[in-house]
């Protein structure tokens, strides 16, 4: 029977950029998972713990310095606090899209914003009106061509 480390070592491939990309099962976020002692563990956490020989302290997380969630190369992984991991990451918090004050066509978002009901962003009201008028014009022309 193979040891957990032997099973771990069979489930990644080394890329030219130095990442050890996990080829085993992953969760919805792209993080590798493997079973040890009947329970699922994250492959990147297992990599750090097996390399250092110590458990990851409670309340600490692993930051993927390479920004590749499937990477299990311990050189690309660093133990950090939750606050530091969030600060470094691209997860919650301000994103460039939310920081923009103008749409792609240069209209100010100030009092000109439609927040999509599905929660997947915002639209410039002026641009929506222009697109709607253009769509209606094309429909009228298409109806006229059919008659």
The average confidence (pLDDT) of the chain is 86
Task: Lowest mean pLDDT of 16-20, 30-34, 63-67, 87-91, name the range.
Answer: 87-91
Contact between 51 and 62 (Cβ < 8 Å) = no
Higher pLDDT, 4 or 88: 4
- Whether 130 has a pLDDT exceeding 60, the answer reads yes
Distance (Å, whole) CA 47 – CA 5:
9
Does residue 77 sit in the same domain as residue 115? no
- The domain that holds 62 is classified in CATH as 3.90.75
- Whether 51 has a pLDDT exceeding 90, the answer reads yes
Domain ranges, residue 123: 96-146
Of 88, 104, 138, the residue at which a domain comes to its end is 88
Distance (Å, whole) CA 63 – CA 91:
12
């Amino acid at each position: 029977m193979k040891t957990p480390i032997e099973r771990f070592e069979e489930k990644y491939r080394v890329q030219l950029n130095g990442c050890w990309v996990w080829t085993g099962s992953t969760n919805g976020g792209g993080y590798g998972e493997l079973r040890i002692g009947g329970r699922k563990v994250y492959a990147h956490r297992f990599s750090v713990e097996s390399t250092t020989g110590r458990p990851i302290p409670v309340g600490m997380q692993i930051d993927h310095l390479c920004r590749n969630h499937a990477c299990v190369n311990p050189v690309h992984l660093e133990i950090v606090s939750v606050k530091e991991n969030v600060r470094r990451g691209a997860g919650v918090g301000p994103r460039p899209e939310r920081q923009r004050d103008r749409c792609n066509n240069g209209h100010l978002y100030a009092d000109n914003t439609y927040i999509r009901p599905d929660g997947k962003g915002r639209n410039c009201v002026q641009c929506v009106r222009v697109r709607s008028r253009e769509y209606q014009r094309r429909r009228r022309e298409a109806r006229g061509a059919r008659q």
